[in-house]
Amino acid sequence: MSVKALKPYNFPAKDVRENFPAPLLFIGWEDHLMFGAPVALPLPPDTPFGALGTAVLPATYGYHPDFARIDWSKVEWLKSGKPWQPDATKSLAENGLKHKDVIRFRTPGLNGINGSCN
């Protein structure tokens, strides 16, 4: 459903990059509805992309039983809903990620608890 403003907005946006300790990156895990929406994480642009699976995401998704079984070499990445091939050796910025970008990852063969997508 589209929304039409009745008059122009005359105030500065509050979600600009400068208002956060680091750029926000939204990350979601496909077929794991225990996490109903992507998480928003403030991550420095120089964070290596490969660190997501080893140092960043365990604190967010690590308690799910599927997480320990992820084969990161087989993960399928999506950026803004489209297939995407990040380079794990490059930084988030070098992979073209910026403030408020949305990425999702799919883990083939891991579809939630007992295949329930939860």
Q: How many domains does the chain have?
A: 1
Is 11 within a domain? no
- Residue 65 belongs to a domain: yes
Rounded Cα distance between 77 and 113, Å, is 21
Cα–Cα dist 27/106, whole Å: 11
Query: Which residue range is the domain that position 71 belongs to?
Result: 21-115
Find where tokens 């993960």 sit: 75
pTM, full prediction: 0.87
CATH of residue 110's domain is: 3.10.20.560
pLDDT means per 10 residues, the chain with 118 residues, are 79 90 96 91 97 96 95 95 96 97 96 88
